[in-house]
C-alpha cells in the first residue's frame, strides 16, 4: 500500500508532529474543562443529561454527531460523548460509543461524496480556499493520512473528508482512513468520562 511509504516523507512527518501535538493539547484542555464543569455544576449536568436522555434518546446523540461531523460546526461531537457519560446510556457505552464512531465515519463518507460530486460549486471553492494553502497541498498529496489526522486531532474532520472527495481519494482508501474515528471516539469517551467522574468525586469531598 503506497500510503505506508508516505510515512517516510519529511513533510508528512512534520504535519503529523504538528497536529498530534495540537491533538494532545486539545485533549488535555478538554479534560481540564470537563473536570471543572463537573466539579462546579454536577447536579445541573445530571439533570440536563437525564432530560436529553428522556427527550431525544439515542437518536438525538446520533443526530448531533452526524451533523457536527458533516459541516464545520462550533459544537464538536465530543459534546455527545460528555452527555452520554452523564446519562443512563453509560451502562451501554460498549455498544453506543462505537456506534457513534461509526455514525461519525458515515458522516465523513457523506462529506466525501459531497466533495466528489459537487466540487464544481462555488461553495466548495471557498471551502478549499479557507482551508489554507499548506493544508490543501497536504490533502492532495497525502489524502489518506490527512483524513487519519482529521479523524484523530482537532484538524476539522469534515473539511478533510470534503477535500478527500474533491481530490478524488478512492472510496476504499477513504473508508480505511475515516474508520480511525471509531477508536478515537472510544479513547476520548473514557478521557471525558473519567475526568467528569473525578470532578464529581472532588465535589463530594467538600
* pLDDT confidence of residue 176: 96
Torsion angle of C-alpha atoms 137, 138, 144, 145, degrees rounded to 10? -170
What is the rounded distance in angstroms from the CA atom of residue 105 to the CA atom of residue 107? Answer: 5
Whether residue 3 lies inside any domain: the answer is no
Expressed as residue numbers, the domain containing 83 is: 14-204
Say if residues 44 and 203 touch (Cβ distance below 8 Å): no
Whether residue 70 lies inside any domain: the answer is yes
Q: Residue 131 — very low, low, confident or very high, per pLDDT cuts 50/70/90?
A: low
Average pLDDT over residues 18-29: 89
- pTM assigned to the model: 0.87
Q: Is the pLDDT of residue 121 over 90?
A: no
Whether residue 151 lies inside any domain: the answer is yes
Q: Is the pLDDT of residue 181 over 80?
A: yes
Q: Is the pLDDT of residue 6 over 90?
A: no
Q: Is the pLDDT of residue 138 over 90?
A: no
Residue of higher predicted confidence among 168 and 200: 168
Whether residue 4 lies inside any domain: the answer is no
Tally of domains within the chain: 1
Whether residue 2 lies inside any domain: the answer is no
Amino acid at each position: 500500500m503506497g500510503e505506508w511509504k508516505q510515512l517516510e516523507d519529511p513533510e508528512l512527518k512534520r504535519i503529523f508532529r504538528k497536529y498530534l501535538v495540537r491533538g494532545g493539547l486539545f485533549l488535555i484542555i478538554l479534560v481540564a474543562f470537563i473536570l471543572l464543569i463537573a466539579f462546579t455544576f454536577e447536579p445541573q449536568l445530571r439533570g440536563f443529561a437525564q432530560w436529553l436522555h428522556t427527550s431525544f434518546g439515542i437518536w438525538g446523540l446520533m443526530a448531533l454527531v452526524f451533523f457536527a461531523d458533516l459541516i464545520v460546526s462550533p459544537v464538536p461531537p465530543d459534546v455527545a460523548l460528555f452527555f452520554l457519560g452523564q446519562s443512563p446510556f453509560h451502562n451501554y457505552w460498549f455498544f453506543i460509543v462505537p456506534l457513534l464512531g461509526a455514525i461519525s465515519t458515515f458522516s465523513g463518507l457523506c462529506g466525501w461524496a459531497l466533495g466528489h460530486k459537487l466540487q464544481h460549486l462555488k461553495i466548495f471553492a471557498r471551502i478549499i480556499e479557507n482551508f489554507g494553502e499548506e493544508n490543501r497541498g497536504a490533502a492532495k498529496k497525502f489524502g489518506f493520512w490527512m483524513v487519519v489526522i482529521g479523524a484523530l486531532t482537532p484538524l476539522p474532520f469534515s473539511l478533510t473528508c470534503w477535500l478527500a472527495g474533491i481530490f478524488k481519494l478512492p472510496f476504499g482508501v477513504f473508508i480505511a482512513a475515516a474508520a480511525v474515528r471509531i477508536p478515537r471516539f472510544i479513547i476520548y469517551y473514557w478521557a471525558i468520562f473519567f475526568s467528569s467522574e473525578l470532578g464529581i468525586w472532588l465535589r463530594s469531598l467538600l
